[in-house]
Chain A
């Protein structure tokens, strides 16, 4: 076991992690621990753009953006945070441009903007061009630009270091728990490293891999959320998961909303533009939860396409090929590569795909992690998809996640570095790596009969079937029971690779453990929320219930004296400033 000491440690090198690293490296000695090489992060898969009210192509202002974000999140958004997000969006886009990001340009040479779902002029009057984009690989360009600037700033990366545990120490005087460090497993050698740090930022990304049809990478297994949760920190709003309307049928690969922003149309088997029925104003550009539900409604009412009637079409055939080549080259290539379809002439089969976790580790607007509704954990920060500020509420608007990672990545990077400049190290607990050593040894030596892949597939199929776009009390209960069964069977999991070098077999087993924990939290939170709001739609409670549920879910892991684990749910009020909840129509 090796012990390293840094002022600031950042876990994860996606957009949020690297944005934080650029700030914190300038101010403090920083290490970035990442389980993938930084440029492999899933920020790179984002396509459509990054919203900011630059008003480069038409009238716009950040206050409209704030409203759209709050309305898009079905009023579960903390409005102070949404204001910050929309206001600082403008500077964070300009920051990226100055770092070298090659945005598409207007004829005047300014950053070009296009329409995107849920973004509107003057509080919902009409779609507005707000999304700044670089072709249909904006996320890729953001990831590359941030990595380039990390190289420029000389950020210290620990590549393929997998963080498995968060070390918290109680202050003997005040009783407040402070962050002391993290424990990481080095994939290349199997060695365990303890990183002691004054400030820690979690930026480890999402947890979409508990669904089968998902746009998420294989590596998005909620490692950060699970580590915090296991150490007694709450997880906020985990029942809210976004299903992106246009994933490639059965594969889940994302086809950007920008395709509809450029004029693409969703059609059912009769060729009908069905979104006109569900969202007369915004049509195909209504917010994602609305479009996903509409697609499934079409499918369930027998208007789906294909022999099984299990998908609908994204029609781009009326757009000129030059426009597709210039604005959407990647997604047209996906259609050609994976489906053998020519998007110039044929519509693309799509279905909703699990896309984004709105919930996560609760933080305030400085990125500080909350230990309960009000107390912060000194020295612990979170940003990006792993965190829940909450700017996305019950449903995230398209292009707001690239914004989130930049705005709150920067904020938490600065806040963490400032904290580590003013504070001293917290002593490490005795045997800091014990939990991780035990976990790794148990899996490596286990002789049980269960296999990781089998359990994972059962989990994914259960989640797809029971807690996806439509949920009921009964389906969620089915899922809760199934997850409990899988968690029990997980104790019997064994792996074939017993080695130390690049033991990805072991890694997948650990990741499955994280997924199971988080799936349980998600299902339990969903069961308790007896209303429909944003990404959480209960068929047995189809309406929003602002009286009882205008509040954030906070899920805590409780361990009884006899060792049995349970989830305790608590609630946190929503911060409301100017916008009173209204009915949500597009």
Chain B
């Protein structure tokens, strides 16, 4: 025997060790399919699979892709909510497929899965992320400093570091931006994610480019288009208080003028 997992490797994968009786349930996944090589229309397709409800939606999508229909297309990478590849609309709400357990979705009803809204659908659950990253690039998401660099690190108090901690968590998955009704109707709006990343620098005590970023967000497509619907805060898989961050940028803009 090489490792303790050896004995189990021969067994069928069905009732996995560790759970006494078979934990498997049958769940229906209703997936919004679109393949421009086949049809110009998107349509819903149902897949019934047997799966452990403690597994993730991503596991279910893999099961479908690997065992039923290899043409099902989606992005994924790390599978534990840190890379931001697999944001999708699950049961009408934006989430990461790898951070959503099937048991939390009332799997006795069909679970709907579709691409995030407001971005061009290229195939099945894959959308064009370029406009999203364009907005990110447009807010100058990098540290801007003046004068000579110090030889050692720049000093920053723990409180100053804490000030923008929340917005450093962003993984650019687009769940927030693609849940925003303003963005759905006008893709020119910077969107929550870009504002969050501007916030991360505006409130960093080391940064000296805050004025430029505030100027960018003061414009027609900037923070003033936010309608505080809180969809972004609800959607964020990292628990960032997105709407609050947007409000803080608004406040910074107003206090800058008055």
A99 and B143 contact, Cβ closer than 8 Å, known pairs A109-B155, A140-B82, A465-B2 = yes
A457: chain B residues within 8 A (beta carbon): 13
Most chain B Cβ neighbours within 10 Å, of A98, A106, A304, A503? A98
B133: chain A residues within 8 A (beta carbon): 37
Contact A337 B85 (CB under 8 A): no
B35: chain A residues within 8 A (beta carbon): 499, 501
Most chain B Cβ neighbours within 10 Å, of A39, A106, A304, A308? A39
The one of A144, A250, A251, A451 that contacts B66, using a Cβ cutoff of 8 Å? A451
Contact A140 B122 (CB under 8 A): no
**A342 is an interface residue with CB less than 8 A from chain B:** no
**Closest partner residue, chain A, to B66 (CB atom):** A453
Contact A468 B5 (CB under 8 A): yes
Interface residues of B in 52-86 (CB under 8 A from A): 56, 65-67, 69-71, 73-85
B80: chain A residues within 8 A (beta carbon): 45, 251, 253, 334, 338
A330: chain B residues within 8 A (beta carbon): 82
**Partner-binding segment picked from B180-188, B200-208, B215-223, B248-256:** B200-208
The one of B20, B85, B153 that contacts A94, using a Cβ cutoff of 8 Å? B153
Most chain A Cβ neighbours within 10 Å, of B16, B74, B126? B126
The one of A98, A140, A296 that contacts B171, using a Cβ cutoff of 8 Å? A140
A103: chain B residues within 8 A (beta carbon): 153, 161
**Partner-binding segment picked from B23-31, B162-170, B228-236:** B162-170
A501 and B77 contact, Cβ closer than 8 Å, known pairs A102-B164, A337-B101 = no
Q: Separation in Å of the A108 CB from the closest CB of chain B?
A: 7
Q: Bound state CA distance, A144 and B164, in angstroms? A: 15
Count B interface residues, CB 8 Å: 70
**B157 is an interface residue with CB less than 8 A from chain A:** yes
Most chain A Cβ neighbours within 10 Å, of B56, B129, B168? B168
Chain B 123-137, CB-CB to A under 8 Å as 1, else 0, gives: 110100100010011
A44 and B171 contact, Cβ closer than 8 Å, known pairs A100-B204, A500-B37 = yes
Count A interface residues, CB 8 Å: 82
Q: Separation in Å of the A551 CB from the closest CB of chain B?
A: 25
Q: Separation in Å of the A405 CB from the closest CB of chain B?
A: 16
Contact A40 B161 (CB under 8 A): no
Interface residues of A in 61-112 (CB under 8 A from B): 93-94, 97-100, 102-111
Contact A104 B81 (CB under 8 A): no
Contact B71 A499 (CB under 8 A): yes
B165: chain A residues within 8 A (beta carbon): 102, 135
**Closest partner residue, chain A, to B153 (CB atom):** A97
Q: Separation in Å of the B254 CB from the closest CB of chain A?
A: 26
Interface residues of B in 142-163 (CB under 8 A from A): 142-143, 149, 152-158, 161
Contact B3 A469 (CB under 8 A): yes
A42 and B83 contact, Cβ closer than 8 Å, known pairs A464-B3, A465-B6 = yes
Contact B9 A461 (CB under 8 A): yes
**Closest partner residue, chain B, to A42 (CB atom):** B78
Q: Separation in Å of the B201 CB from the closest CB of chain A?
A: 7
Q: Bound state CA distance, A480 and B220, in angstroms? A: 63
**A497 is an interface residue with CB less than 8 A from chain B:** yes
Contact B67 A453 (CB under 8 A): yes
A296 and B71 contact, Cβ closer than 8 Å, known pairs A105-B156, A217-B79 = no
Contact B37 A296 (CB under 8 A): no
The one of B78, B142, B143 that contacts A45, using a Cβ cutoff of 8 Å? B78
**A462 is an interface residue with CB less than 8 A from chain B:** yes
Q: Separation in Å of the A563 CB from the closest CB of chain B?
A: 30
Q: Bound state CA distance, A505 and B72, in angstroms? A: 8
Contact B143 A505 (CB under 8 A): no
Contact B5 A310 (CB under 8 A): yes
A134: chain B residues within 8 A (beta carbon): 168
Q: Bound state CA distance, A465 and B11, in angstroms? A: 12
**Partner-binding segment picked from A123-131, A148-156, A566-574:** A148-156
Most chain A Cβ neighbours within 10 Å, of B16, B66, B101, B201? B66
Contact B141 A151 (CB under 8 A): yes
Contact A39 B172 (CB under 8 A): yes
Q: Bound state CA distance, A334 and B82, in angstroms? A: 11
Contact B172 A466 (CB under 8 A): no
Most chain A Cβ neighbours within 10 Å, of B2, B20, B155, B157? B2
**A433 is an interface residue with CB less than 8 A from chain B:** no
**A452 is an interface residue with CB less than 8 A from chain B:** yes
**B99 is an interface residue with CB less than 8 A from chain A:** yes
Contact B81 A496 (CB under 8 A): no
**Closest partner residue, chain B, to A452 (CB atom):** B66
Q: Bound state CA distance, A308 and B5, in angstroms? A: 10
**B36 is an interface residue with CB less than 8 A from chain A:** yes
Contact A39 B66 (CB under 8 A): no
**A218 is an interface residue with CB less than 8 A from chain B:** yes
Interface residues of A in 197-218 (CB under 8 A from B): 213, 217-218
**A396 is an interface residue with CB less than 8 A from chain B:** no
Q: Bound state CA distance, A493 and B41, in angstroms? A: 31
Q: Separation in Å of the B98 CB from the closest CB of chain A?
A: 10
Contact B78 A217 (CB under 8 A): yes
B70: chain A residues within 8 A (beta carbon): 452, 495-497, 505
Contact A496 B2 (CB under 8 A): no
Q: Separation in Å of the A222 CB from the closest CB of chain B?
A: 15
Q: Separation in Å of the A539 CB from the closest CB of chain B?
A: 8
Contact A218 B77 (CB under 8 A): yes
Q: Separation in Å of the A154 CB from the closest CB of chain B?
A: 10
The one of A106, A310, A333, A505 that contacts B71, using a Cβ cutoff of 8 Å? A505
A470 and B3 contact, Cβ closer than 8 Å, known pairs A102-B168, A337-B101 = yes
Chain A 487-506, CB-CB to B under 8 Å as 1, else 0, gives: 00000000111011111110
Q: Bound state CA distance, A497 and B77, in angstroms? A: 20
Contact A105 B5 (CB under 8 A): no
Contact B142 A152 (CB under 8 A): yes
A137: chain B residues within 8 A (beta carbon): 82, 169
**A231 is an interface residue with CB less than 8 A from chain B:** no
Interface residues of A in 287-304 (CB under 8 A from B): 296, 299-300, 304
Q: Bound state CA distance, A468 and B3, in angstroms? A: 7
Contact B83 A44 (CB under 8 A): yes
A337: chain B residues within 8 A (beta carbon): 81, 99, 101
Contact B3 A465 (CB under 8 A): yes
**Closest partner residue, chain A, to B124 (CB atom):** A502
**A373 is an interface residue with CB less than 8 A from chain B:** no
The one of A44, A250, A462 that contacts B9, using a Cβ cutoff of 8 Å? A462
Q: Separation in Å of the A492 CB from the closest CB of chain B?
A: 15
Contact A472 B126 (CB under 8 A): no
Instruction: Please name 7 further chain A to chain B contacts, defined as beta carbons within 8 Å, in addition to the given A104-B161, A108-B155, A337-B101, sorted by A numbering.
Output: A37-B129, A102-B165, A213-B5, A334-B80, A465-B9, A501-B35, A505-B70
**Which residues of B are at the interface with A, using a C-beta cutoff of 8 A?**
1-6, 9, 13, 16-18, 20, 35-37, 56, 65-67, 69-71, 73-85, 99, 101, 122-124, 126, 129, 133, 136-137, 140-143, 149, 152-158, 161, 164-165, 168-172, 201, 204, 206-207, 239
The 3 closest A-B pairs by CB, nearest first: A100-B143, A496-B70, A453-B66
Would you list 9 pairs from A and B whose C-beta atoms are within 8 A, ordered by A residue?
Answer: A109-B156, A109-B158, A110-B152, A110-B155, A188-B122, A250-B16, A307-B18, A475-B2, A505-B65
**Which residues of A are at the interface with B, using a C-beta cutoff of 8 A?**
36-37, 39-42, 44-45, 93-94, 97-100, 102-111, 134-135, 137, 140-141, 144, 148-149, 151-152, 159, 188, 213, 217-219, 250-251, 253, 296, 299-300, 304, 306-308, 310, 330, 333-334, 337-338, 451-453, 457, 461-462, 464-472, 475, 495-497, 499-505
